[in-house]
Amino acid sequence: EQGLISRGYRYTLQKNNGESWELMDSAGNKLIAPAVCFVIPPTDPEALALADSLGSQYRSVQQKAAGSKRTLQQRYEVLKTENPGDASDLQGRQLLAGLDKVARDL
């Protein structure tokens, strides 16, 4: 009634309703079919390796950003005690604001 399920074609699982699945074919048509009609292939090892690598890179960037922020805050505190209210105060605030923007973008 809702469409033809063919062997060898790829369908995207939209919702798992237990014994029946809501699917979408490559043309964008929604179908409902018995779950027993499908085999889900194992996850691609290359995709897992890439995801792990990206996760590691993200954590590394977060650590570097946190370290940079600490260093800038420490330097700002030193400059603030040495020269209160001068141009370095404004520059320190601008640098910290820029680093906060980078952290939010991450």
Cα gap 19→15, rounded to integer Å: 11
Looking at the fold, whether 51 and 96 belong to one and the same domain comes out as yes
Tally of domains in the chain: 2
Q: Are 101 and 74 contacting, i.e. CB atoms less than 8 angstroms apart?
A: no
Q: Are 79 and 55 within one domain?
A: yes
Tell me: do 71 and 54 sit in the same domain: yes
Same domain membership, residue 86 and residue 62: yes
Residues 54, 5 share a domain: no
Compute the average pLDDT of residues 28-49: 85
Q: In terms of domains, do 32 and 51 share one?
A: no
Same domain, 36 and 50: no
Residue 78, both tokens: 């030193």
Check whether residue 50 and residue 91 sit in a common domain.
Answer: yes
Using one digit for the tens of pLDDT, what is the confidence trace for 5-27?
888 888 888 998 888 889 988 88
Q: At residue 51, does pLDDT exceed 60? A: yes
Residues 58 and 12 in one domain: no
Say what the pLDDT of residue 52 is.
94
- Residues 1, 29 share a domain: yes
Q: Which residues, 6 or more positions from 84, have their beta carbon under 8 angstroms from its beta carbon? A: none
User: What residue type is 2 in one-letter code?
Assistant: Q
Q: Are residues 67 and 99 in the same domain?
A: yes
Q: Same domain, yes or no, for 57 and 87? A: yes
